[in-house]
A and B are shown apart, each in its own frame.
Chain A
Amino acid sequence: MSIRHGLLALLERGPSHGYHLRAEFDAATGATWPLNVGQVYSTLDRLERDGLVAQDGPPDADGRIAYRITDVGQAELRGWFASPVSAKGAPRDELAIKLALAVTTPGVDVLRVVQTQRTATMTGLQELTRLKARADDGPGDLAWSLVLDSLVFRSEAEIRWLDHCEARVARAAARRPATPTATATATATATASATAPGAPAPAADAAPGGGRR
């Protein structure tokens, strides 16, 4: 997704000028992706340079220039809607990188890192759910509700992934022989198994690693 395609989609509804496009973009995405007017104008400049939009008549009394989508722009827009969003690209997920570093950095309580993130993501998910409940009770802004759904599902996926990380970390710690260098994760698991005196080490492994209900 780029701002380019967002603006082309808005111009497909009819000619408009930058300031108005920004407001429409906000309304369409529920302000989940705030743009500043500067970004809108610079994107319009590039779209015009590439022949995807054209100026729609002379500037109005306030000096504002309206743009319209061109045939080339419409073809580009149709192509965008027709193609899937690529999941490729540089891995820039800060959380994934943070956890990868956490498991390899001595002295980091990985389970605590996981839980801190899970609580924060859950708090965000609770806020989204409240917004969604309100949106669904309202007159029915389907576009906004679908944007919220997307954020809800993304948060849910992140929490699920964190659950998975927690189970993996606990299992790995249980398998590893306890050494002074096996730090925080081993401590947490040791605490868990300490509640079952005499239980063999694999029992501690089985609990967090078992399937979820």
Chain B
Amino acid sequence: MSAPVLQLAGVTRDHRQGEATVQALRGVDLTVSPGELVAVMGPSGSGKSTLLHLAGGLDTPTAGRVVVEGRDLAELSAAQVAAVRRRSVGYVFQDLNLLPSLSAVENVALPLELDGVRGGMARRAAREALEEVGVGALAGRFPDEMSGGQQQRVAIARALVGPRRLLLADEPTGALDSTTGEEVLRVLRARCEAGAAGVLVTHEARHAAWADRVVFLRDGVVVDQSGPAAVAESLLPAGGAG
């Protein structure tokens, strides 16, 4: 089996709220391998988004380790973490964050150009990424000339353009109708099957069901998981919430 793209080991994240400390995550273990899509479900405040932020190096754990493509983020400088974020991690948010003044291909090429890739090469890679998610023909269109589903595909292409192999998606289907949402999940799934590792945060069971594994969070703890790997990788603390 190939090395995991993402590993969370004993990850805890405390947030201060006035005098009190709230533990957003408590001792979470999670491993995501290439080719795997893992969904994270749980009620509001269960720690889903915190988990995603930690996985993407946007936040730092209070305890435990976050390892992306073999690199322990705690051992890297801020600049090195930023480089991991640019080169290894792609984000898809509910709010697509496409720049309205740039065409689809320019939006997708942007992260590569920011990372120093020359214009022509970045655009070529961007076109390929757009082809891959089925919107190659829309490369020249601006965001307001595309449907919500098309824009979301562009956002996924942008998340995975270049060598990035970790895809983090936070409610990526939130603003879409059910059929379009399903198409987006097909694209995510296909990208993972092609070798990426994906973490999908969602509250829609129907969407989570596209994942290989579904991890259930409650009060910052992984209380259970479903899917074929559920037995192999036991993350279950005894007694559920205890």
Contacts and interface: CB of A to CB of B under 8 A. Distances in A.
B43 A166 contact: yes
B226 A213 contact: no
Interface string B206-221: 1011111010101110
Interface residues of A, number: 40
Contacts of B45: 207-208, 210
Indicate the member of B26, B171, B212, B241 with the most A CB atoms within 10 Å.
Answer: B241
Contacts, number: 107
A187 B226 CA distance: 24
Given A126-B211, A160-B205, A198-B20, A109 B240 contact: yes
A111 B206 CA distance: 22
A197 interface: yes
B17 A196 contact: yes
A128 interface: yes
Nearest to A122: B226
A192 B220 CA distance: 9
Interface of A: 109, 111-112, 115-116, 118-123, 125-126, 128-129, 133, 152-153, 155-156, 159-160, 163, 166-167, 187-188, 191-192, 195-199, 207-208, 210-213
Given A119-B226, A122-B208, A191-B241, 6 more contacts: A112-B239, A122-B205, A125-B209, A126-B209, A126-B212, A195-B26
Interface of B: 17, 19-23, 26, 41, 43-45, 48, 171, 186, 189, 203-206, 208-212, 214, 216, 218-220, 223-227, 230, 239-242
